[in-house]
Structure 1
């Protein structure tokens, strides 16, 4: 039997709080957890927390900071560590979503060329995604960000927090 990962449980609790509308409390809980994890802590904890913290930010520059932290953590995460948490996880499967989020942040900041680069990086890794709800959601997100880029829009997309 796998031991419960208390940090991942706390991250999930904060994410649930944010999805229920209490983004301030969710950000506060995640910030406290980040202080304990640190910039050199467990890569799975860092990538998960940073990825979700980015989604809770009101400004694209703040989201970008957290999404860069998530990408950095993914670069040091191993499949072995990811699978210790959940047998179906693969680090390769993280990258399309991470690059999609970076593309959206850069788009919202008006850095369209950089946004296109990250969108291409997301597209290049689509084969690493399963054909499930997660994979379909990332693919739809890519299409939404691509359409916004085509219109030079910096507006927040309702489909991509």
Structure 2
């Protein structure tokens, strides 16, 4: 038997007490929220909080699930050789707990930005789409499937 292979990932939209949102500048996607792949043996929230800390120096707490996404496109990794499996991503709104902003080996810059300016920084279409869903969150969790190549396209979207 061959088991299906999916990447499970999580994104953390961390807000401080003033309502600013944390973003990181990544080497591959540009500005984005912190997050990444969940490792073997981690639950989704543990993996998310680890990724936020590793990429930004911030300790956060998970407040609410806001979106579930499937990137079902078939494409190659940045190396141009390795096929990327389907990605299932969980986006969470998080609260800042403590920590000083610091870049990492995955990020070149880390900043707090106001909600009304953050979309000006986000250039990757999927990241922009997901952040819009966070900024418009009304308590309903959105599920979407999309592809990112050859161009970003939402295939399916509904509230769950």
- Verify same fold: TM over 0.5: no
> What is the TM-score when the length of structure 1 is the normalising length?
0.30
> What is the TM-score when the length of structure 2 is the normalising length?
0.30
Larger helix share, 1 or 2: 1
Q: Relative contact order (C-alpha < 8 Å, sep 6+): which is higher? A: 2
